[in-house]
Amino acid sequence: MRILAASLLIASALLSLGNTALFSVLVITAVITWLYWSKSPIPLSLAIIALTSLVTPPMDMALTSISTVLIDNALKTGNERPWWFYAAPLSASILLAIILRQFYIAASLSIPLLYILAISLINVIRFYTITIELRPGRELRVDAGSELAYSLTVLTRPRVRALMEVRAPKGLRVNPARLYMNGEASIKAIARYNLGGVKRPRITLTFIDVSGLVRVSRVVRHPRIVVIPRTKAAIQFARGLLAQSALALGAEDIREVREYMPGDPIRRIHWKKSAKLNKLVIKLLQGPGLTGPIILLSYASSPVWVDRVGEVLVYLTAELLTRIPSIEVISVNRDGEITNYTLNRDNYFNVIENILGRIENLNIKLIGGGDYADLLSAIKYSIPLRIKDIVREGIITIGQGLFMEPICRVFKERLICISV
């Protein structure tokens, strides 16, 4: 391109021998072009277009047409200016040439102007009409609060060559956010959502043509991301934990055996001992005995916190049921009303679903540590008074830390506080 640029200027200088001023400018520009082409191809290309349009007609149109190749190549080396940045001065020059009745100059300058307008229009139409597909590299399924890392391939039909910028919404991070694509491109994505559900975030893809003249933004839907609520994931864990503990029930905690009686669980039959004694006997377990009840503050400030409180309740009760026969849960709502539940292996999943379904979302939006209606203070400081009659030594209390703080402060010597 440097050789072509210098050649055009030399040719223009030879055709302008009769115009000393123009000849001198062309020669000086040819030297500057040869020395600095690699550093400033775009401004030098525009200067060559302007100078070749001043050559004696009709050679000016031929030379200007050839110099359009220079601007085309120069723009692809790293242009960051929009199409109008180049079209505006060319249009102004053409208008001035027409006013001065320099129609050949106007015709010469119209060639690069039409080129810039044409490729800009073609790319705008192409970017707006392509079909965009997002194809993940794996199944998009994750627990709430956990991170899901995967590759995401962006495909265009028909294929386009362009620089692509990716802007992701909250909950989704992409890397790199700016990359070159030729029909397809692959990016790394990390999704993290605190609330369960099926997510289909909107991703903004901005396509920039190779000349940098046109930027077109398209909004596309991300493929489905299935976010499993914390409580649902905890219940799945509890199923496996309780099933596993049932198979190994009493394996290490057998105190003694007694003769089987109708109604005893078959899973507790000690088959090896029964074979020796020639009669059915069952295992008597050495357990720690019943634990004190669990007090559940059955409310939270937002859906995310409702999910987190429920998650802790499920994990704790499932773990306790691997060691003790039953657990009492005392559910306290925001008005201080108490509901008692008894959890055991047989009714666990039905009862726990009932308890979880009654955890209330207060939908409190905190402003400077408080909420607009002062609902937070009313609940925080009234509940300790309402539950004082049921609090006794060794009781476990579960709730959102926001509401647990005054309760744990008042009953700190008597409660085991689990703040979420």
Of 150-159, 254-263, 274-283, the range with the highest mean pLDDT is 150-159
> Closest Cα partner for 3 from 53, 57, 59, 48?
48
Lowest mean pLDDT among 43-47, 109-113, 213-217, 412-416: 412-416
Residues 141 and 103 in one domain: no
Count the domains in the chain. Answer: 4
Residues 403 and 304 in one domain: yes
pLDDT above 90 coverage of the chain, percent: 59
Of 85-89, 375-379, 385-389, the range with the highest mean pLDDT is 85-89
User: How far is residue 329's CA from residue 353's CA, in Å, rounded to a whole number?
Assistant: 13
Is residue 270 very low, low, confident or very high in pLDDT (cuts 50, 70, 90)? Answer: confident
- Total Cβ atoms within 10 A of residue 300: 25
Residue-number span of the structural domain to which 280 is assigned: 230-285
Question: Which residue among 285, 319, 352 closes a domain?
Answer: 285
Residues 181 and 279 in one domain: no
Query: What confidence score (pLDDT) does residue 364 get?
Result: 79
Residues 323 and 412 in one domain: yes
Residues 304 and 404 in one domain: yes
CB 197 within 8 A of CB 105: no
Residues 303 and 415 in one domain: yes
Transcribe 22-35 into DSSP letters. HHHHHHHHHHHHHH
Overall average pLDDT of the 355-381 stretch = 74
pLDDT at 13 over 50: yes
Residues 301 and 280 in one domain: no
CB 327 within 8 A of CB 296: no
Name the pTM for this structure: 0.76
pLDDT at 249 over 70: no
Query: What confidence score (pLDDT) does residue 374 get?
Result: 59
Is residue 151 very low, low, confident or very high in pLDDT (cuts 50, 70, 90)? Answer: very high
How confident is the model over 84-141, as pLDDT tens digits?
Answer: 999 999 999 999 999 998 899 999 999 999 999 999 999 999 999 999 999 999 999 9
CB 16 within 8 A of CB 59: no
Query: What confidence score (pLDDT) does residue 92 get?
Result: 94
Residues 373 and 306 in one domain: yes
Is 76 strand, coil or helix? coil
Query: What confidence score (pLDDT) does residue 336 get?
Result: 83
375, containing H or E segment: helix 375-386
Query: What confidence score (pLDDT) does residue 250 get?
Result: 45
CB 314 within 8 A of CB 329: no
Overall average pLDDT of the 316-342 stretch = 88
Residues 104 and 161 in one domain: no
Is residue 367 very low, low, confident or very high in pLDDT (cuts 50, 70, 90)? Answer: low
Residues 336 and 218 in one domain: no
Residues 392 and 363 in one domain: yes
pLDDT above 70 coverage of the chain, percent: 89
Question: Which residue among 260, 285, 310 closes a domain?
Answer: 285
Overall average pLDDT of the 326-334 stretch = 89
Q: What sections of 196-266 are H helices per DSSP?
A: 230-247
Query: What confidence score (pLDDT) does residue 164 get?
Result: 95
Query: What confidence score (pLDDT) does residue 289 get?
Result: 45
Query: What confidence score (pLDDT) does residue 372 get?
Result: 54
Query: What confidence score (pLDDT) does residue 252 get?
Result: 44
Is residue 298 very low, low, confident or very high in pLDDT (cuts 50, 70, 90)? Answer: very high
pLDDT at 202 over 70: yes
Identify the sign of the CA torsion 208, 211, 212, 215: negative
Of 10-19, 203-212, 313-322, the range with the highest mean pLDDT is 203-212
Q: What share of the chain is helix, strand, coil (3-state, %, to 5)?
A: 45, 25, 30
How confident is the model over 165-176, as pLDDT tens digits?
Answer: 999 999 999 999
Residues 241 and 217 in one domain: no
Question: Which residue among 197, 212, 228 closes a domain?
Answer: 228
